[in-house]
Structure 1
Amino acid sequence: MEIGKLNQRIAVLENQVKKDAIGNHKAQWEEVFSLWASVAVSGNGASEETDTGVTREIQKLEAVIRQTPQTKRMASTVYRIRFDGLDYDIKGVIPNYKTQDYMKLLCESRRAGAKDDVS
C-alpha cells in the first residue's frame, strides 16, 4: 500500500474506568491517540437489524492502518475508533504477518434505536 492512500484521520478510543469525586467507578471511552488510515465501506455498506422490537442501522467499514507496536496491541474488547463523527466498534483486527507493515480493522457502527452500554 502506498502511504498517500492513508488519507483519513481516525481516533482510537480506549475503555477506561474512572473514579468520580465520591468514589464511584464509571466506565468511559477516552481518546488515546489518532492516526492516518485508508477507510472504505465494507460489504453492502449498511444493514438493519431488529432485536426485541428495536430496529438499528449497522454501518460496516474497513480501516487500513500502519502496523506499529502501539496498534498491534489493539483488541476489540478494549478499543473502538471514531471516524467522521461516529464511533465504530472494532469487530476484528487482521495483522499482516508477512510484511508487518499494515493491518486492517473491521468495524461497525451502532445507530438509530441502539443504546450504548457504556457512555
Structure 2
Amino acid sequence: MDIALLNRKITVQKNTVVADEIGNHISKWDDLYSCYATISGESPNESTSAGTVVDNTKADFTVRWCEAVSEVTPDGYRVVYNGGIYNILGIDHQSFKKKSVKLKCQKARR
C-alpha cells in the first residue's frame, strides 16, 4: 500500500443509545476513530423523487488496518468526510491480510 495515497482525513463514528435525565432513549453518534484514507470509486448519482433531488453518491474509503477499524460493521457505524455523512454499505477486508480495509459507502440523506 502506497502511504502517499492516504491523503484525505475521515472519521468513523459509532452509534450509541443513551438515556437523558427523564429516561428518554436518544441515538447519539460518537467519534470512534479518525485516520487518513484513499478515496476511490466515487460515483456521483442524483435522482428526482417527489419533486426533490436526491443525492445517491457512492464512494470507497480505503484505510490502513488496525484493531479499531477491524471491529467496524455496516450496522451502527458511519463515515464523516468533508462535512458529508456516509452510511457504510459493506466492508472489504482485502483478503484478510491485515494491511488495509475498504469501506464501501453511500452518502446519507439528511
Give the TM-score taking structure 2 as reference length.
0.88
Inter-CA distance 41–85: structure 2 relative to 1 (3 Å threshold): farther
Cα separation, 2, equivalents of 1:31 and 1:73: 14
Which letter does structure 1 place at the counterpart of 2:83?
G
For structure 2, list consecutive stretches of 5 or more residues without a partner in the other structure: none
Provide the residue aligned with 1:93 in structure 2: 91
How much is the aligned-residue C-alpha RMSD, in angstroms?
1.7
For structure 1, list consecutive stretches of 5 or more residues without a partner in the other structure: none
Cα separation, 2, equivalents of 1:55 and 1:28: 27
Which letter does structure 2 place at the counterpart of 1:94?
D
Identity across matched positions, percent = 27
Residues 82-110 of structure 1 deviation map (CA, whole Å, 9 limit, x = unaligned): 00000000001000225320111111103
Equivalent position SS for 2:68: helix
1:65 is aligned, of 49, 52, 63, to 63
Q: How does 1:97-116 map to 2 (within 5 A)?
A: 97=95, 99-110=97-108, 114-115=109-110
Cα separation, 2, equivalents of 1:46 and 1:8: 18
Provide the residue aligned with 2:6 in structure 1: 6
Shift of 1:14: 0.6
Give the TM-score taking structure 1 as reference length.
0.82
Provide the residue aligned with 1:31 in structure 2: 31
Shift of 1:49: 4.1
Q: Structure 1 stretches (4+) deviating beyond 4 angstroms?
A: none
